[in-house]
Structure formats: C-alpha cells, structure tokens
Amino acid sequence: MTALTADDFLGGRLTLAQPKAGLRAGSDSVFLAAAVAARPGERVLDVGTGCGVVALLVAYRLPGVMVDALEVQPSLVELASANAEKNGLGDRVRVVEGDLAQAPRELPHNAFDWVVSNPPYHDPAAATAPPDTAKARAHMETTLDTRAWVAQCLKFLKPKGRLAVIQRADRLADVLAGLSGKAGDIEIMPLWPKAGAVANRVIVLARKGGKGPLALTPGLVLHGEGGAFTPAAEAILRHGSPFPHKVAPKVIP
C-alpha cells in the first residue's frame, strides 16, 4: 500500500491525504483554485484532479458550487473521493474515473460553467519522465499534448463558460493554440518567483466563444526578500483570498 501524508491547505482549513512519494500537489494547485470565480449554483469540472486538491479547494472557497473531478488513475480516484468525504465536501464534490480523451458519460459536453485544469507540464520528447508512475502520468504529455488538452477541456463548457489552467510559461504558446478560434476574453496572469525575475508559471483564463481581446495582467509576485511569501501570495495560500484578476471570486468568510 502506498504510504500517505496528511497535508494542510489554506492554513489548516483542509487536510488532504497525498502519496508520501510521487504525485503531490503544492502551491500551483492553490493559486489555480483561487482563480476560479464560480457563483452559487454553478457547476465546475476539475480535469486531472489527482488526489482532489484543486476540486476541494474550489468547493471549500465557493459555497453553493457543485464540483465534478475527472481522474484517469483508479488509485487517485479512490484517494480524492476519500479526501472529499473526510473534509465534509462529499456532498458537493464527485470524483469520476475516466480519460480526458474519451470522457465518461457522467461528464457531458456543454454542461459546465467553469473548467479548471493543471495539464501535464512536460513534452516527453524534451524531458525525462519521473520514475514514479503516477507522477509521470500527471506530469508528462501522453495521448494529448497541451494544445489538445486545452481544446478537450473547452468541450465541457457551456457557451460563454470559463476555463482556467496553469502551465509553465514556456508552454504558453501551446495553451493559446488550444484556445485559438474557440475562446476569447483571455487573461494571462504570470506567477513571478520574485520581483524582477522571469515568470515560470502562468494562469490562463478564457471564455468559450468569447470575442474580447487578450489581456496580460500584473499577475502575482510570490516571494519577497529572504524567500518568504509576499503578503498577497500568503493571503491566497493561507487565507483563501481570490487570485487578483478581472473577475472577482468570492472570498472565504
């Protein structure tokens, strides 16, 4: 049996089991979830949920929102479902086993107000796969590259629904290619490791069928002098504040 750790998120508001070695969620998941601005009664789909961190963060931050989560690895489906129950969110978070390339019937196209995803970061032609199988499947592109992954995610959205993804900054062109001709009102939100540094991650928001222009936002500086998180990053990571962008998510009471 895989050894697990119990990890706190949002300053201990959520405690989630994760594999001790291999696939583990970190700050990227928290920043991505904080960019979702769904309203009560809306439906959110988390694609590639892993052990459920993004799905559960969204559900916790946004009361009244229903979250479905898609995951291809059976062991992670079981773990994500258990995390939802243990955190009292089992009534609003449903984890479904399936592959994005051939999504299950439980997750129909054109049905969701928001889709959120942390796609695989690495092109197998340019990077070495991690030795852990679960981590390799989450981090390495397989049947779908980034462009195809994004295009598949858009299929689940209602007209004018919104997509939120986080990706390496050097893969931004692939994200935009997946959106081309299908979505607009695009916001690019860089994650700067520190002031004056090159951004290594971006969060991208887009509206299915949107016609508005692309906007490059100030994004978020993560670390100050000495390496500590900036107050703005700390507010998101520990206190559940929304990510700063043009759509204003609900803040945890």
What digits encode the pLDDT tens for the residues 149-194? Answer: 999 999 999 999 999 999 999 999 999 999 999 999 999 999 999 9
In a domain, 206, yes or no: yes
Q: What is the pLDDT of residue 124?
A: 53
Ranges 37-46, 107-116, 129-138, 240-249: which has the least confidence: 129-138
In a domain, 215, yes or no: yes
| Domain containing residue 61: CATH number | 3.40.50.150
Interval 125-141 mean pLDDT: 44
In a domain, 18, yes or no: no
- Coil, strand, or helix at residue 133? helix
pLDDT grade for 244, boundaries at 50, 70 and 90: confident
Helices (H), 1-73: 27-34, 53-61
Interval 141-150 mean pLDDT: 83
In a domain, 5, yes or no: no
Pick from 192, 190, 199, 198: which is nearest to 224 by CA? 192
Q: Please, which residues bridge with residue 194 across strands?
A: 223
In a domain, 63, yes or no: yes
pLDDT of 51 > 60? The answer is yes
Q: Do residues 212 and 242 lie in contact, with contact meaning Cβ atoms separated by under 8 Å? A: no
Number of domains in the chain: 1
What digits encode the pLDDT tens for the residues 18-33? Answer: 998 877 899 999 999 9
Q: What is the pLDDT of residue 246?
A: 63
In a domain, 14, yes or no: no
Q: What is the pLDDT of residue 142?
A: 57
More confident position, 123 or 64? 64
Q: What is the pLDDT of residue 57?
A: 97
Q: Concatenated DSSP letters for 214-249? A: PEE---EEEE-GGGPBPHHHHHHHHH-PPP-SSS-P
Structure tokens at 156: 């689940």
pTM of the full structure: 0.88
Q: Please, which residues bridge with residue 116 across strands?
A: 46, 164
- Domain enclosing residue 43, as ranges: 26-239
pLDDT of 133 > 90? The answer is no
In a domain, 20, yes or no: no
What digits encode the pLDDT tens for the residues 191-236? Answer: 999 999 999 999 999 999 999 999 999 999 999 989 999 999 999 9
- As a whole number of Å, the end-to-end CA separation of the chain is 38
In a domain, 16, yes or no: no
Percent of the chain with pLDDT over 90: 82
Pick from 239, 238, 200: which is nearest to 219 by CA? 200
